[in-house]
Amino acid sequence: MIVIFLGPPGAGKGTQAGHIVKRYGIPQLSTGDMLRAAVAAKTPVGVKAKAIMDAGDLVSDEIVAAIVEERIEQDDCAPGFLLDGFPRTVPQAEMLDAILTKKGRAVDAVIELKVDEAALLDRLRNRIKETKARGEEVRADDNEETFAKRLQVYREQTAPLIPYYKGQGKLREVDGMQTVEAVSADIDAILDRIQG
Ligand code: ADP
């Protein structure tokens, strides 16, 4: 089962991903996490990506597609995987389709977490507060200024994926303004049908 999570920053993709990983036994492939690991390890990709990410811009399509292609070749991705943060542009979606076609695989469902934009800033402020309360370091791009930029990038570059996947008949909308449990239940209903 190959599933894509779509939604603006703060939509709850990370929270719901944890639930899916547990329930369906497929790994979560977060390009944001992979890129942050590359930054921390100071790999050539990480060195290139750091300033771009800190500014809230997108790393090049070729770089992220190569990272994802390498990752899905690993054994744990054989039963399927959940993509979180990828694809983020239409060219990335086309690259993903090409990569999967080569392997005789295809995306099963694209779950769009729909949220009110007005709620996103509150969620960000909460996330910053909670991260600090845990004594952890706040992400370099988790501040109000960069967040506004990330939201703009989402609207301009990522939202066009909605008609792209609607056209493929794969888009499934979920109301992300519900409680965490209710959102999970809606996602389960969609994925249970796919798993049959
Ligand atoms: P969010 O909290 O917005 O979902 P992520 O953790 O997914 O953020 O990503 C953080 C940053 O990493 C993005 O703002 C971008 O710079 C970079 N990034 C992650 N995934 C991609 C991608 N598929 N294409 C380009 N850049 C990406």
Q: Could you tell me if 80 and 26 are in contact, meaning their C-beta atoms sit under 8 angstroms apart? A: yes
36 lines ligand 1 (CB under 6 A): no
User: What is the reported pLDDT for 61?
Assistant: 97
* Cα-to-centroid distance, 8 and ligand 1 (Å): 10
Cα–Cα distance between 67 and 140 in angstroms, integer? Answer: 21
The answer, yes or no, to whether residue 75 has pLDDT greater than 80, is yes
Residues 176-195: tens digit of each pLDDT: 999 999 999 999 999 999 98
Q: What is the mean pLDDT of residues 68-89?
A: 97
Instruction: Name which residue sits closest to atom 14 of ligand 1, judged by CA.
Output: 56
86 lines ligand 1 (CB under 6 A): yes
Q: Would you put residue 157 in left (φ > 0), alpha (ψ -120 to 50) or beta? A: alpha
Phi/psi of residue 137, nearest 5 degrees: -80, 135
User: What is the reported pLDDT for 195?
Assistant: 85
Residues 23-74: tens digit of each pLDDT: 999 999 999 999 999 999 999 999 999 999 999 999 999 999 999 999 999 9
28 lines ligand 1 (CB under 6 A): no
Instruction: Name which residue sits closest to atom 19 of ligand 1, judged by CA.
Output: 32
Catalytic amino acids?
Answer: 13, 88, 127, 139, 150
* Cα-to-centroid distance, 118 and ligand 1 (Å): 21
The answer, yes or no, to whether residue 130 has pLDDT greater than 90, is yes
Helix axes 180-195, 13-24, angle to 10 degrees: 40
Average pLDDT value over all residues in the chain: 96
Map residue 2 onto helix, strand or coil. strand
174 lines ligand 1 (CB under 6 A): no
Percent share of the chain, pLDDT over 70: 99
User: What is the reported pLDDT for 65?
Assistant: 97
pTM over the 0.95 mark: no
